[in-house]
């Protein structure tokens, strides 16, 4: 499948320099690397990315939703565009590779194409999507969601723990919320041909199986839970144990119920409680109010739906035992989505032709690809994560593995360019 053109050799030192430079733009006050959406470090990093896109030979603009879109014009004036990219925002105290490998790897592909005078038929769009990481609004993939027409007024009206609206955060970042809602499909008049994204695996499978490349089979669906437990505040020194309505004890049972569901999943399925806020939080007061944040994920949508029902019943039952009322609000972050078989076939054939061992793997992490899949057939290329760790300062992928991923990424884009 691969031709000489596809053996474009990434410049490893240039990739390393880009990763190093971008990782230096972060919030110094926190451990690891923090560049969360709408933050000042994130604002600064967007300017750096925009400049690197232009240096690579792309014509760059920011769309209404805050996505940075770089265009490498193709030879054909009639063909739909090829799209690739990822994100450069991080979780709080995150790592240096999640998302960055996809954006900077795509820039290295563009530089190889320009330097070797290889011009695809299709326009090539390289996108740094705004705000891929889930945030205080419980919503991941803000930019790709908007581009795919899936960001709604309800989303913009969501409030964070401090009561701030998402729409107002956009405005504080210089983006008009009403424009954000009109960003759908505004990347070119001829639609999209294919989308492929390069990303770190963020799990242990490739390393365990000694594979250099993961070909993603599906992206997990995510259901998010916000639970509010209302008990009764009492004096911690005088109220007898049997007479209490302790909201934090009810929440603790719910945390264990979430974990039990995740551990009981028959196929890929996970469940996590990530936050408990107890009030009043005084050492001598029985907690009267607790807010709990949790999520469940799986590539098995039937399990996900059944688990949501079981968990809702179990949490309510346990809360009643403690005399605590509970309000459960579930939301869908994204549906489970299979990758396109034809893009999957191209990636695996390219890896085979380059003699690179690959594995078909599901993605427990969500990605911008899950939203762009609304616009065209999509696929993803994974590179190994050391120890399967991610969303933490220890997140690491060897440069050699990143270069291998870029080689497969570039050859895949050229193969998709030839695909009708
Ligand atoms: O949450 C995720 O899976 C992704 O890292 N935003
Ligand atoms: Mn990511
Ligand atoms: Mn992430």
Q: Report how far ligand 3's centroid is from the alpha carbon of 57 (Å).
A: 28
Rounded Cα–Cα distance for residues 16 and 403 (Å): 10
> Which residues crowd ion ligand 3, with CB under 5 Å?
98
Buried b (16+ CB within 10 A) or exposed e, 227-257: bbbebbbbeeeebeeeebbbbbbbbbbbbeb
pLDDT of residue 4 exceeding 80: no
Residues 314-338 pLDDT 10s: 999 999 999 999 999 999 999 999 9
Please give the pLDDT value at position 184: 86
pLDDT tens digits along 257-289: 999 999 998 878 999 999 999 999 999 999 999
Q: What is the average per-residue pLDDT within 94-103?
A: 98
- What is the distance between the alpha carbons of residues 187 and 190, in angstroms, rounded to a whole number? 9
Say whether pLDDT at 396 is over 60: yes
CA distance linking residue 184 with residue 375, whole number of Å: 10
Q: CA-to-CA distance for 5 and 402, rounded, in angstroms?
A: 19
Total-model pTM = 0.95
Ligand positioned closest to the Cα atom of 222: 1
Q: Residue 329 pairs with which residues in a beta bridge?
A: 226
CATH class of the domain whose range is 221-334: alpha beta
* Average pLDDT of the chain to the nearest whole number: 96
N-to-C CA span, the chain? 15
Helical axes 12-23 vs 100-115, angle rounded to 10°? 140
* pLDDT value at residue 188: 74
Closest listed ligand to the CA of 200: 2
Residue 185: pLDDT band with limits 50, 70, 90: confident
CA distance 171 to 366: 26
Distance CA 124, CA 83 (A): 6
Q: Do 255 and 227 meet the contact criterion of CB atoms below 8 Å apart? A: no
Work out the burial of residue 161: count CB atoms within 10 Å of its CB; fewer than 13 is exposed, 13-18 middle, 19 or more buried: exposed
Respond yes or no on whether the N-terminal peptide bond of residue 280 is cis (omega within 30° of 0).
Answer: yes
Pocket test for ligand 1, best of 133, 145, 274, 380 (most atoms within 8 A of CB): 133
CA of 353 to the centre of ligand 1 (A): 31
Task: Return the ligand 1 atom nearest residue 140 CA.
Answer: 6
**Mean pLDDT value of segment 368-390:** 97
Domain extents in the chain: 2-220+336-417, 221-334
CA 149 vs. chain centroid, Å, equals: 17
Q: Whose CA is nearest to atom 3 of ligand 1?
A: 365
Bridge pairing between strands 68-72 and 124-129: antiparallel
Q: Do domains 2-220+336-417 and 221-334 have the same CATH topology?
A: no
The CB-side HSE value for 7 (13 A sphere, CA atoms) comes to 8
Does the pLDDT at position 2 exceed 70?
A: no
The ligand 1 atom nearest the CA atom of 220: 3
- C-alpha 180 – ligand 3 centre gap (Å): 22
The rounded Å distance from CA 299 to ligand 1 centre is 14
Distance 7 CA to ligand 2 centre (A): 27
Q: Taking 70 as the threshold, does the pLDDT of residue 194 lie above it?
A: yes
CA of 137 to the centre of ligand 1 (A): 14
Per-residue pLDDT of 61-95, as tens digits, reads 999 999 999 999 999 988 999 999 999 999 999 99
Q: Taking a C-beta distance cutoff of 8 angstroms, is the pair 192, 376 a contact? A: yes
What spacing in Å lies between the alpha carbon of 39 and ligand 1's midpoint? 18
* CATH of the domain spanning 2-220+336-417: 3.40.630.10
Are 288 and 233 spatial neighbours (Cβ–Cβ below 8 Å)? yes
Ligand 1 mutation target, pool 363, 366, 371, most atoms within 8 A of CB: 366
Rounded to whole angstroms, how far apart are CA atoms 167 and 178? 9
Residue 5: is its pLDDT beyond 80? no
- Over residues 176-197, the mean pLDDT reads 90
State which of 101, 134, 136, 333 you would mutate to test the pocket of ligand 1, scoring each by most atoms of that ligand within 8 A of its C-beta.
134
142-154 per-position pLDDT tens digit = 999 999 999 999 9
Q: How far apart are CA 277 and CA 289, in angstroms?
A: 8
| Pairing mode of beta strands 234-235, 213-219 | unpaired
- Residue 8's pLDDT is 82
Identify the pLDDT of residue 7.
64
Name every protein residue with a CB atom under 6 angstroms from any ligand 1 atom: 132-134, 140, 365-366
Paired tokens of 100: 């960055």
pLDDT over 90 (residue 127)? yes
Confidence band for 3, pLDDT divided at 50, 70 and 90:
low
Q: Which residues, 6 or more positions from 174, have their beta carbon under 8 angstroms from its beta carbon? A: none
| 3-class SS string, the chain | CCCHHHHCCCCHHHHHHHHHHHHCCCCCCCCCECCCCCCHHHHHHHHHHHHHHHHCCCEEEECCCCCEEEEECCCCCCCCEEEEEEECCCCCCECCCCCHHHHHHHHHHHHHHHHCCCCCCCCEEEEEECCCCCCCCCCCCHHHHHHCCCCCHHHHCCECCCCCEHHHHHHHCCCCHHHHCCCCCECECCCEEEEEEEEECCCCHHHHHCCCEEEEEEECEEEEEEEEEECCCEECCCCCHHHCCCHHHHHHHHHHHHHHHHHCCCCCEEEEEEEEEEECCCCCEECCEEEEEEEEEECCHHHHHHHHHHHHHHHHHHHHHCCCEEEEEEEEEECCEECCHHHHHHHHHHHHHCCCCEEEEEECCCCCHHHHCCCCCEEEEEECCHHHCCCCCCCCCCHHHHHHHHHHHHHHHHHHHHCC
Q: Closest Cα to atom 6, ligand 1: which residue?
A: 133
Is residue 1 over pLDDT 50?
no
Give the tokens for residue 273.
Answer: 């409680």
Tokens at 85, concatenated: 């990219």
pLDDT of 186:
78
């Amino acid at each position: 499948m691969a031709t000489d053109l596809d053996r474009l050799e990434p410049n490893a030192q240039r990739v390393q320099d880009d990763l190093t430079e971008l990782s230096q733009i972060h919030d110094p006050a926190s451990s690891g690397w923090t560049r969360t959406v709408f933050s000042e470090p994130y604002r600064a990093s967007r300017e750096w990315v925009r400049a690197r896109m232009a240096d690579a030979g792309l014509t760059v603009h920011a769309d209404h939703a805050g996505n940075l879109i770089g265009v490498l014009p193709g030879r054909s004036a009639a063909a739909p565009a090829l799209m690739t990219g990822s994100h450069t925002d991080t979780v709080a105290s995150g790592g240096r590779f999640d998302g960055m490998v996809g954006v900077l790897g795509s820039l290295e592909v563009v530089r190889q194409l320009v330097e070797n005078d290889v011009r695809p038929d299709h326009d090539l769009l390289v996108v740094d999507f705004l705000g891929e990481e889930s945030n205080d609004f419980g919503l991941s993939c803000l930019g790709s969601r908007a581009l795919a027409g899936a960001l709604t007024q309800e989303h913009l009206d969501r409030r964070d723990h401090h009561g701030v609206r998402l729409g107002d955060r956009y405005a504080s970042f210089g983006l008009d919320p009403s424009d954000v809602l009109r960003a759908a499909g505004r990347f070119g008049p001829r639609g999209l041909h294919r989308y492929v994204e390069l990303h770190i695996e963020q799990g242990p499978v490739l390393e365990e199986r000694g594979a250099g490349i993961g070909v993603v089979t599906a992206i997990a669906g995510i259901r998010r839970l916000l639970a509010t437990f209302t008990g009764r505040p009492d004096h911690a020194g005088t109220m007898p144990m049997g007479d209490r309505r302790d909201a934090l004890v009810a929440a603790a049972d719910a945390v264990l119920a979430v974990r039990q569901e995740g551990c009981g999943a028959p196929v890929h399925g996970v469940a996590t409680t990530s936050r408990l806020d107890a009030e009043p939080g005084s050492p001598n007061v029985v907690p009267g109010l607790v807010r709990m944040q949790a999520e469940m994920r799986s590539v098995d949508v039937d399990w996900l739906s059944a688990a949501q029902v079981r968990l809702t019943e179990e949490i309510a039952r346990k809360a009643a035992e403690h005399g605590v009322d509970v309000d459960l609000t579930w939301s869908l972050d994204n549906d489970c989505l299979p990758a396109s078989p034809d893009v999957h076939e191209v990636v695996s054939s390219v890896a085979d032709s380059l003699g690179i061992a690959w594995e078909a793997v599901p993605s427990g992490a969500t990605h911008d690809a899950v939203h762009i899949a609304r616009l065209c057939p999509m696929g993803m290329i994974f590179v190994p994560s050391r120890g399967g760790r991610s969303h933490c300062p220890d997140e690491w992928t060897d440069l050699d593995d990143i270069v291998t991923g870029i080689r497969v990424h570039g050859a895949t884009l050229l193969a998709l360019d030839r695909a009708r």
